[in-house]
Amino acid sequence: MKTADGGKIWSSKIVSDSHLMNGSFAIDPRNMKTIYILCIDNNKNIYLLLKSSNGGSFRTVIEFKPHRYPNAICFDPINPKRLFLSTDYTGTQTSKNDAGILLTIDGGVSWKPILKDACYHMDITASGAIYALSSKGIVVSKDNGASWNTIIDYKALSINSYYINSSTIKADEKNKLLYVRFTVTNTTGRDRDTNPYLYKFLRIKL
Amino acid sequence: MNKSLCYLMICVFSASIIVISHTAVSQKKQSTVSVLPLLENISVTSFDICRSNPKVLYAGTDEGVMKSTDSGLSWKIMRENPNAVVFVNEVSPDIVYLYEAG
């Protein structure tokens, strides 16, 4: 929503604001009027990446394929020319092939994959380190995605990545802490009819 | 073949396998980390940290919006609206944006 009169009148500038979550919008630190937003088009049931260059009107940059699920968009704080986008997939093997983390350096015109494993969420720290919840575990890259190291796998967290429904990762570089949150489908619990999801919120000391 | 020579060859071969296995394990080895569960028995649907003061966290939970000022060790309910999506201002930990669906 946007207001131009100090909050008296608000107007919607986004196709739909459902599924708004941490990481679903990014403001260019070089120009606060350049905004990227991830949202869902409820009519087509597909996700969109929208961009505004004037802080108000949005145009579609990416119309994602069905079953492809973008979940975070972040500027590199060291070099804000670099914009990262993480995507997951649901269901089909076809969409699995192009999930991961993508990088653009031309404002969203072209995208290059820097992580080819499906990614549930990511965070970029002030030093430029990229922390990601990938399908293979919690991983980090300190060289702009050229190489990745596994911090911990999901088995060690007693999580089956297949059943992750949503998740968030945030890094506190100063205190060497990672915070991760998972909503996981409850497949085995005796109470799964009344509690279809299990929640985990963890602090990981690096 | 001499029995002792044969024994020596088996030992060298076994040692090589052990060295190779150890190398493979070392390459896959993850850094040592410790994991602490936070807000156990509460459904946490979102959270955010303040970049300028990362000990401050806010969490959207089924009990409301909760705040921690000690890196997640203790929490206090700040608002009783359940399952809000929280966004913390990068500069000020006192400015928080909420997205409350419905």
pLDDT digits (tens, 9 = 90+) for B60-95: 999 999 999 999 999 999 998 888 888 888 888 888
Assign residue A21 the CATH number of its domain.
2.120.10.30
Q: Cα separations (Å) of A46 from A49, A54, A66, B99? A: 10, 25, 6, 21
Q: Is residue A6 part of a domain?
A: no
Domain that holds residue A109: 12-158
User: What is the rounded CA–CA span in Å between residue A171 and residue A191?
Assistant: 33
Q: Is residue A188 part of a domain?
A: no
- How many alpha carbons lie under 13 Å from residue A80 in its C-beta half-sphere? 10
ipTM attached to this prediction: 0.82
Q: Is residue A168 part of a domain?
A: no
- Over residues B25-60, the pLDDT tens digits come to 333 455 678 999 999 999 999 999 999 999 999 999
Q: Is residue A173 part of a domain?
A: no
**Higher per-residue pLDDT: A10 or A46:** A46
Q: Is residue A194 part of a domain?
A: no
Three-state secondary-structure class, residue B14: helix
Among the partner-chain residues B31, B45, B49, the one whose CB lies closest to the CB of A172 is: B49
Question: Over pLDDT 70: what percentage of chain A?
Answer: 85
**Residue B23 pLDDT:** 31
Q: Is residue A205 part of a domain?
A: no
Whether residue A78 lies within 8 A of chain B, CB to CB, comes out as no
Q: Mean of the pLDDT values across residues B16-21?
A: 40
Tally the domains of chain A: 1
Among the partner-chain residues B37, B47, B55, the one whose CB lies closest to the CB of A175 is: B55
Q: Mean of the pLDDT values across residues A84-106?
A: 78
Q: What is the pTM of this model?
A: 0.82
User: What is the rounded CA–CA span in Å between residue A139 and residue A115?
Assistant: 10
Q: Is residue A85 part of a domain?
A: yes
Tell me which chain A residues have a C-beta less than 8 angstroms from the C-beta of B49: 170, 172, 179
